[in-house]
Amino acid sequence: MTSLRTIIAAFLCAIALGLASAGLYGLPAFGHYPGPYGDIINRQGPAERHATNMVTLVNFDYRGFDTLGEEFILFAAVIGAVVLLREHRGEEASARPDQADEAPIPERSEAVAFGCRLALGITALFGIYVVLHAQLTPGGGFQGGAIVGSATALLYLGLGYPAWRGMMRSRVLDTAEAAGALAFIGAGLAAIGAGAPFLTNLLPLGTTGSIVSAGVIPLLNIAVGIAVAAGFGTLFLEYLEETREPESGGEQ
Amino acid sequence: MSHAAFLLPAWLFAIGLYGVITSRHFVHLIGCLTVIQSSTYVLLLAVGYRTDAAAPIFANLPIGTPAVDPVVQALVLTDIVVGATVTALLLALALQVHKRTGTLDPHELRPLRR
């Protein structure tokens, strides 16, 4: 059914497409990046900070202050989701899954359980590897933290709800997330304490290519990795609690 | 045709916008918003791209090798993190809307209806 609304929407989107295309034609041709900022960082970064991953270097050193803001956007969004979802959760959500219209709940297949148990350890280890090699190879605290957070979802799929719920303590996750965010601020304030501007990279730079090189960058990435992993774990926890049947007497 | 690659983010933006306007379901609407946001990822990466250049990772590359722009890639990372968390927040809002009103159709929601 083609309603008037659809026609107007299509018309407006065609206009938006035309305007966006016209604007984008003013950019330098694709594949001809003109510089100079990226080139300056690519040339100076490895020598100045002993890091080899320029993306992490930009995020956690040259523009570290912006990443602090990014970290707190994540923090605020997780808090917002938790506040919204916990409001209606009964005091005692039962462990039974909620059923829609008595529809049968299929058993978790053994292939899923086995595959997830197999992937669980590898995924968690890979996430930690990505966090620890932030300044060296592609990845960093956000990416690695998201991978570790995904491992907690595999825990749920592989071991089932009761075992997963027993391991996910929201108090531990909340504390870890806050501690990660605080550690980032702490690293910034430590620089002020030493008489330098906020978040100045004052630690010894080490040997390029070593896991402890590039000063404060690995520490910031570990802090962010912990915060992101805990944030994702919290989100999974809150959303999966929504699938439980409310205890009788609790909220609808 | 040197600008043809920029048509992809424009197209992603337009179809995402069309989806948002015509959406009859909040979860679908949030999906469309993600499509709009992914247009910004593609655009940023396209702006910093350089033909035949390496990734800005100098672990195994000599310094001075032509590489793409790391600044826009750092921006895309921020963009993705913000996008993922905002999506989580919006889905939580959609859940609350469904609990309170029993519908996820934006057209069935009246302003200030209790």
pLDDT band for position A205 (cuts 50, 70, 90): confident
Chain B residues in contact with A66 by the CB 8 A cut-off are 78
Nearest CA in chain B to A239: B92
A82 pLDDT more than 80: yes
How does pLDDT run across A175-198, given as a tens digit for each residue? 998 899 899 888 888 888 888 888
% of chain B beyond a pLDDT of 70: 95
d(CA A186, CA A199) in angstroms, rounded, equals 9
d(CA A188, CA A196) in angstroms, rounded, equals 10
pLDDT value at position A251?
Answer: 43
Mean pLDDT of B72-76: 90
Distance from CA of A162 to the nearest CA of B (A): 23
How does pLDDT run across A1-46, given as a tens digit for each residue? 568 888 888 888 888 888 888 888 888 888 788 878 888 888 888 8
Query: Measured between CB atoms, does A12 come within 8 Å of chain B?
Result: yes
Mean pLDDT of A86-94: 59
d(CA A142, CA A155) in angstroms, rounded, equals 20
pLDDT value at position A247?
Answer: 57
Mean pLDDT of A240-245: 78
pLDDT value at position A91?
Answer: 47
User: pTM to 2 decimals?
Assistant: 0.83
How does pLDDT run across A96-149, given as a tens digit for each residue? 676 666 677 777 888 888 898 889 999 999 999 999 988 888 888 899 999 999
pLDDT value at position A2?
Answer: 66
Query: Measured between CB atoms, does B112 come within 8 Å of chain A?
Result: no
Query: Measured between CB atoms, does A35 come within 8 Å of chain B?
Result: yes
* Helix, strand, coil percent values for chain B (each to nearest 5): 65, 5, 30
Select, from the ranges A12-26, A99-113, A154-168, B35-49, the one with the highest average predicted confidence (pLDDT). Answer: B35-49
Q: A199 φ, ψ to 5°?
A: 65, 20
B107 pLDDT more than 80: no
Question: What number is the ipTM of this complex?
Answer: 0.81
Mean pLDDT of B79-102: 87
Report CA-CA distances (Å) from A113 to A109, A153, A154, A237: 6, 12, 9, 19
pLDDT value at position A249?
Answer: 44
d(CA A77, CA B65) in angstroms, rounded, equals 39
pLDDT band for position B55 (cuts 50, 70, 90): confident
Among the partner residues B10, B18, B21, nearest to A20 by beta-carbon distance: B10
Select, from the ranges A36-45, A137-146, A159-168, A199-208, the one with the highest average predicted confidence (pLDDT). Answer: A137-146
Answer whether B73's CB lies under 8 Å from A69's CB. no
Following DSSP, what letter does each residue of A137-183 receive, concatenated? SS--HHHHHHHHHHHHHHHHHHH-HHHHHHH--HHHHHHHHHHHHHH
A90 pLDDT more than 70: no
